[in-house]
Amino acid sequence: MTKPSYLVRAANVPSYQPANHEHTFNQRLICPETVGAKQMEVLLGTLHKGGGALPHAHPGIEQACYLLEGQARASVEGEAFDMLPGDMCFFPADRMHTFTVTSDTPVKLLVIYSPPYGENPDKVIRP
């Protein structure tokens, strides 16, 4: 039996530590390399206590985060909000944002980029 082309099992996807993040491990679930996606990318992020994204923006890339577990604080251009499981936030393209774990337990979240980010340093703006 051949491997399905459009099914991705998180258990089979290696994790990596993204640049400009602390105590964070991502798994690229939906992307050009896994299923051939061209217009979006979906990651599963696991962030441990004290972890998160330092201030940055993505030129021309929109980002949304859906919180599955834990608690976090997100900010976009100075507007900050606390997130609980089931909450979703949006980071517009080119806008500075942060994401910080506030719970003692790890945070798990889905991160969606459009178009795909691909962990490309050329697609990050730092303050």
Give the residue-averaged pLDDT of 119-124: 78
Q: Is pLDDT of 66 > 90?
A: yes
Give the residue-averaged pLDDT of 70-95: 97
- The reported pLDDT for the residue numbered 1 is 46
C-beta of residue 99 within 8 angstroms of C-beta of residue 53: yes
Residues contacting 16, CB < 8 A, separation 6+: 25, 26, 27, 28, 119
122: left (phi over 0), alpha (psi -120 to 50) or beta: alpha
Domains in the chain, please, with CATH? 16-115 (2.60.120.10)
Whether the model clears a pTM of 0.85, i.e. scores above it, the answer is yes
Q: How does DSSP classify residue 48?
A: E
- The reported pLDDT for the residue numbered 122 is 75
